[in-house]
Chains A and B, each alone.
Chain A
């Protein structure tokens, strides 16, 4: 952690004692996690450690059985997918969450369509297709994204292009926290570098980022802190700004070779 002494304002995100059961299976056992603005948190753990469950709870897709979520210091009781997005928390889901039969623009704006132009159209909830198309084109231009026409259906895109749309959507809308669940899964070496560069940029912009990855090199490269989950518990929360962390150390914690805290 940054060290309480250095912090002044509220944290971007704070989850406390989150527990989640799926029937007899306990996916999360009292996990607490904090994320500051402008901080990159690596979240690692073996399959079944509870990473995805934690991500779906933070992104409002799943509800915890117990525990508290605070966004910008405020209790986040009405956690739902829509309200979470409205609070500026965006997620790149592992499955990308794209609709193949909708266009790139429609996917970028799904759930947050713009109304207009003009008061009548806004009152009627008429969507402003032209403006959304233009904004997406400009955003891709700024992000340096080479994409086919933004009216192309997402289903016609290649794996890398789909990933690009999903990452771009989160980066453009996430004003507080961006969660990336294996964002580089379908990407080549240089594209992966670009995503990691983007995370560094999010940090510079003051956005909190959570990076879930199986790739220790990626995590060690961009993260300020690493939290390790094992069997539904957080067993380590290492601040790499205080002392360097090695991949071997993380692998030991993930597999259980190193017991970690508890």
Chain B
């Protein structure tokens, strides 16, 4: 039997056709990158001023608030969660900053920290209700969408505070090495996000929770704590976004952040994160963020109204939904039927009589051998 097994050994490669089809499907985010480049080339060709440094920096600045909220947002969605409260939380944090600074008379930096804490606190509430108590993320954060806005209006009596000084103005209007500060913040958040998503266990765990929460929990993944932490980050990012807009306007208004949750969700879904969780990429989310930013910017450059941009984003979303269906079909295709039928035919495809299996195990607890001999 061993001989048969040995002769059949070797790792077969997946069939070429299927794997390239799969890659095409996986390129849902990639397809968006192509669309993004084509769109940019079109705007460049029709205006001549698209690929200028100043315009690209405008695009970066325009997308930065949506972008920094979309990074934790994509992590939530891929883990089967959702935060619809980000827009209202941004408004609440902005309003609270105004209250802290102008009514409480706190120093600016303390007000700033306080406003961030408001966002973190709201995120904590979302996280505890959803992750630990098992409430529906849609319902909880939809409640937050209404509740945070209502709270902000109640506290401020719908009054806009302004005059926060030059230092605070730097947050939204300043530049760092020629790059707008909001853009710098977004790039830092995004790079940190890609590290977490692609290079740490957290990224895998989020996908695992979104795809098969039961399995993830059974394997020791922190399926409650991890999404809860991301909710807190999401709330904090929303607060930061609200403060950036406050700084740009030099006005703390409850209107800040209105519609942010839908812009964020649109960018994430365009980028190919599955609405049901379990699948998606952060690079795709970046493409989604930039796609919307470039579309808005370019249509203004060629003097087409903002409604056309909405129309185009809507159409792109439907295309993304179609690609999602295609990808799921591809995913269900078996990798390599031929090798599998071979294996089934002679049984060697499964675990066979290999030599000391467990002695050569990859690694185990160092004290694993304690008393091992006892019972045998």
Residues of A whose CB lies within 8 Å of any CB of B are 2, 7-12, 35-39, 56, 59-61, 72-73, 80-88, 91, 93, 95-102, 106, 110-113, 124-127, 135, 137, 139-150, 152-153, 155-158, 160-161, 163-164, 167-168, 171-173, 175-176, 187-191, 193-195, 197-198, 201-203, 205-208
Chain A proximity mask over B1-35: 1 for CB below 8 Å, otherwise 0: 00001001111111000000010000000000000
Which chain B residues numbered 201 to 227 have a C-beta less than 8 Å away from chain A?
201, 204-205, 207-208, 210-212, 214-222
Complex partner residue of A146 from B220, B349, B375, CB under 8 angstroms: B349
Q: Which of A84, A113, A145 contacts B350 (CB 8 A)?
A: A145
Rounded to whole angstroms, the CA-CA distance of A85 and B368 in the bound complex is: 12
Query: Can you sample 21 A-B contacts with CB below 8 Å?
Result: A37-B372, A37-B374, A38-B373, A72-B371, A82-B220, A85-B220, A88-B364, A88-B368, A101-B210, A101-B278, A110-B216, A126-B199, A144-B354, A145-B350, A148-B11, A152-B335, A160-B349, A161-B349, A164-B351, A173-B364, A194-B351
Could you say which of B207, B351, B365 contacts A167, with CB atoms under 8 Å apart? B351
Q: Flag if B371 contacts A153 (CB, 8 Å).
A: no
- The listed residue with most A CB atoms (<10 A of its CB), out of B9, B13, B353, B372, is B372
Chain B positions 163-212 with a Cβ under 8 Å from a chain A Cβ: 195, 199-201, 204-205, 207-208, 210-212
**In B287-305, which residues have CB < 8 Å from any A CB?**
none
- Across-interface contacts of A101 in B (CB, < 8 A): 207, 210-211, 278-279, 331
Is A111 within 8 A of B199, CB to CB? no
Q: Which of B210, B333, B344 has the most CB of A within 10 A?
A: B344
Q: Is the CB of B13 within 8 A of A198?
A: no
Interface hits, B266-280 → A, CB 8 Å: 278-279
Separation of A133 and B331 alpha carbons in the complex (Å): 21
User: Is B375's CB under 8 angstroms from A39's CB?
Assistant: yes
CA–CA, A153 to B219, complex, Å? 18
Interface on chain B toward A: helix, strand, loop, or mixed SS?
Answer: loop
Question: Of B11, B207, B215, which contacts A149 at CB under 8 A?
Answer: B11
Query: What 1/0 flags go to B341-376 for Cβ under 8 Å of A?
Result: 011101111111111111111101100111111111
Q: Are B365 and A86 interface neighbours, CB within 8 A? A: yes
Interface residue B339 (Cβ < 8 Å from any Cβ of A): yes
- A194-B372 contact, Cβ under 8 Å, with A93-B218, A148-B336, A201-B358: no
**Residues of B near any A CB (own CB < 8 A):** 5, 8-14, 22, 195, 199-201, 204-205, 207-208, 210-212, 214-222, 278-279, 331-336, 339-340, 342-344, 346-362, 364-365, 368-376
Contact B9 A148 (CB under 8 A): no
Find chain A residues with CB under 8 A from B373 CB: 9, 37-38, 206
Name the distance in Å between A46's Cβ and chain B's nearest Cβ: 24
B5 near A38: Cβ-Cβ < 8 Å: no
Interface of A is mostly: loop
B-chain residues with CB within 8 Å of residue A163 when the two chains form the complex = 350
Tell me which residues across on chain B come within 8 A of A144, comparing CB atoms. 5, 9, 348, 351-354
A73-B371, A81-B220 known; A102-B351 Cβ under 8 A: no
Q: Contacts of B354 on A, CB cut-off 8 Å?
A: 142-144
Q: A81-B219, A146-B8, A173-B362 are in contact. List 17 more A-B contacts (CB 8 A).
A: A38-B372, A86-B365, A88-B364, A88-B368, A97-B214, A99-B216, A141-B11, A144-B348, A148-B13, A149-B13, A156-B331, A171-B357, A175-B368, A190-B347, A205-B358, A206-B369, A208-B375
Within the assembled complex, what's the spacing in Å between the Cα atoms of A189 and B347? 8
A153: min CB distance to chain B, Å: 7
**A59 surroundings in chain B (CB, below 8 A):** 218
CB contacts (< 8 Å) of A175 on chain B: these are 358, 361, 364-365, 368
Contacts of A142 in B (CB 8 A): 354-355, 357, 360
Contacts of A110 in B (CB 8 A): 204-205, 208, 216, 219, 221
Collect the chain A residues with CB atoms within 8 Å of residue B217's CB. Answer: 61, 81
Contact partners of A147 in chain B: CB under 8 A:
11
Contact of A127 with B201 at beta-carbon distance under 8 Å, contacts A99-B207, A152-B335, A205-B356 already known: yes
- Top 7 nearest A-B pairs (CB, nearest first) are A36-B375, A190-B347, A82-B220, A38-B376, A9-B374, A9-B371, A175-B364
Docked CA distance A202–B339 (Å): 28
Min Cβ gap B307→A in Å is 37
CA distance A135 to B211 in the complex (A): 25
> B364: shortest Cβ distance to chain A, in Å?
3
- The distance in angstroms between the C-alpha atoms of A102 and B372, with both chains bound, is 34
How far is A149 from B12 in the complex, measured between Cα atoms in Å? 7
Please give me the residue from chain A that is nearest to B328 by CB atom.
A155
CA distance A110 to B14 in the complex (A): 23
Are A11 and B279 touching (Cβ within 8 A)?
Answer: no
CB of A39 within 8 A of CB of B361, answer no
Inter-chain CA distance A148–B195, complex, in Å, is 28
Looking at the assembled complex, report how far the CB atom of A35 sits from the nearest CB atom of chain B, in whole angstroms. Answer: 8
Interface contact A127-B199, CB-CB below 8 Å? yes
Name, among B8, B216, B336, B357, the residue most crowded by chain A CB atoms within 10 Å (CB to CB). B357
Looking at the assembled complex, report how far the CB atom of B186 sits from the nearest CB atom of chain A, in whole angstroms.
22
CB of B214, distance to nearest CB on chain A (Å): 7
B215 touches A148 (CB 8 A): no
Asked if A195 meets B218 with Cβ closer than 8 Å, knowing A8-B374, A148-B335, A203-B376, the reply is no
A160 in contact with B343 (CB, 8 Å):
yes
Q: Which residues of A contact B357 (CB under 8 A)?
A: 142-143, 171, 198, 201-202, 205
